[in-house]
Amino acid sequence: MSGLILQVLPFAVGAAISPTVLTLEVFILASNKQPKARAWAYALGGAVFTALFFVLVLTFLGGVPTGSTGRNTALLWVSGVAAVLLVILGIRQLMPRKTPGEKHSSRIQQRLQAAGPWLFGVGGFVMMLTDFSSLIIVIPGLHHVVLSDAASADEAIAIAILYIAILLPMVIPVGLVTILGKRSDKILHWLNDFCTRHARVITAIVCFVLAAYLVYKIIS
């Protein structure tokens, strides 16, 4: 496994943990009207937004200086800003007031009750747009790709790992239903119950751990 892929793995793991996004997907699958079609549309909407986000971030980060000093300075700045934002988001998760992601999740649940599958795609797009913790987490990972001297194939694999990871909370539940059918009910029920109870704590821990990792990288 290349050094670049090892570098982006912590960010991929962190981005893959998004209880709010997963909970809404389980809610969609619990409906009686076209649950799989709606859930896949939700995942597709998230995939479209994520692809656009990755293109924008890679394009922006591609403008960093190419000299050795400039590369290191840019990496320090991006990692430092991301660490600060993750700490702020982690603290915000522990406050009683609803987060933007939770507010959008509640609104989307209300509006999608009688909606067609296409509108669930919009819901997935919006949910990913407000999943700030996952979006912030993948930025330093993408920055490692931009500054890497690894082979193009390794860079493509690293980007694919980050892309797939951030979409896992949307894809895993509907994938289980598609493959296992009714046999997935117990798993989904457990996931929904666990995420509903511990979503904020889980997200806060992920934010703090990744912030600490980024600080360690900066110091080292």
Residues 6+ apart with CB under 8 A from 14: 134, 137, 206, 209, 210
Distance CA 50, CA 56 (A): 10
What's the pLDDT band for 199 if we cut at 50, 70, 90? confident
Q: Label residue 12 by pLDDT band (50, 70, 90).
A: very high
| Residues 148-152, mean pLDDT to the nearest whole number | 83
pLDDT, mean over the chain: 85
pLDDT at 197: 82
DSSP assignment of 144-163 equals HHHH--S-HHHHHHHHHHHH
Q: Which of the given ranges, 4-13, 111-120, 194-203, has the highest pLDDT on average?
A: 4-13
The answer to whether residues 35 and 28 touch, using CB atoms and an 8 Å cutoff, is: yes
Helix (H, G, I), strand (E, B) or coil at 62: coil
| Token pair in block for residue 90 | 């982690």
DSSP state of 33: S
Instruction: Return the CA Rg of the chain.
Output: 18
Instruction: Give the range with max mean pLDDT: 44-48, 67-71, 88-92, 147-151.
Output: 44-48
Share of the chain above pLDDT 90, in %: 37
pLDDT tens for 92-130 read 888 877 666 555 566 665 665 556 677 888 888 988 998
Among residues 60, 61, 53, the alpha carbon closest in space to that of 144 is found at: 61
Can you give the pLDDT at residue 66?
54
CB 151 within 8 A of CB 161: no
Non-local (6+) Cβ contacts of 194 within 8 A are none
C-alpha pair distances (Å), 161 with each of 14, 34, 42, 137: 12, 30, 20, 13
